[in-house]
Amino acid sequence: MKMISEDLTLVKGMEEDDNASFKAIYDKYSRAMFIYAHNIIKDRAVCEDIIQEVFISLWSKRKTNNITFLKPYLFQAVKFQIFNHFRNNKLSTEDLTRLNIIDVSMNVSQRLEYSELDQIIRDHVAKLPKRCRQIFVLSRYHHKSNKEIAEELEISVQAVKNQISKALASLRNNLQLEEAIVISLLLLY
């Protein structure tokens, strides 16, 4: 969680036109991004261009990007640029195979990063008031509809909606994450 917090500080600095924050992001991630691209493309000049394009875009869109998780954002941007490169050039079967292998390893890495966040979310859910927690767990972890929960607990659908809203608001406030990120993470279960 420390890395995510440091990254958010750098992103906020960059959004406020702080060149030092932008340089710190570049210094922290550009080498790993280059290695990721080079493992797929095997052309140093093309990979350098891809990384440069990602950082130019990052800076030019710094006021509107709304980045919460910097590392996955940057690597997804590299992957997008690689796809653009393949689309604009002849794509070999070997290139596709390498891209799929690298993509699988990236997904494993991202799952490990999110497991820490997942545990923090679960800890906060455990601290919700009993009825609120019960409804939230049935909704997000057991994937029950509001109607199913209402019938099971013999309450109104509106009461279910209110408790879910209360839980999301509590998580958002306690975790200091935007609602969309909290909801998307909770819908992954």
Contact 160, 139 (CB under 8 A): yes
Tokens 């690597």 — which residue? Answer: 75
Say yes or no: do domains 1-113 and 127-189 share a fold: no
| Each residue's pLDDT tens digit, 29-43 | 999 899 888 887 888
Inter-residue contact 168 to 183 (CB < 8 Å):
yes
pTM of the model: 0.50
Rounded to 5 degrees, φ, ψ at 178 are: -75, 150
The domain made up of 127-189 has a fold known as: Arc Repressor Mutant, subunit A (1.10.10)
The H-assigned helical ranges of 68-92 are 70-88
Query: Which listed CATH number (3.40.30.10, 3.30.390.50, 1.10.1740.10, 2.102.10.10) goes with 1-113?
Result: 1.10.1740.10
Q: Which amino acid does the sequence have at 25? A: I
Look over the chain and give the mean of its residue pLDDT values, rounded to a whole number.
78
Segment 95-120 mean pLDDT: 55
> Given a cut of 80, is residue 101 above it in pLDDT?
no
Q: What is the rounded average pLDDT of the residues 147-175?
A: 86
113 close to 2: Cβ distance less than 8 angstroms: no
Lowest-confidence region among 60-74, 145-159, 170-184: 170-184
In degrees rounded to 5, what are phi and psi of residue 142?
-105, 0
Note the pLDDT of residue 155: 95
Rounded CA-CA distance 67/63 in Å is 10
Q: Would you place residue 176 in the very low, low, confident or very high pLDDT band (cuts 50, 70, 90)? A: low
| Domain ranges across the chain | 1-113, 127-189
CA distances from 176 to 4, 116, 166, 182 (A): 12, 15, 15, 10
pLDDT at 9 over 70: yes
% of the chain residues with pLDDT over 70: 71
- Write out the DSSP string of 113-162: HHHHHHHHHHHHHHTS-HHHHHHHHHHHTS---HHHHHHHHT--HHHHHH
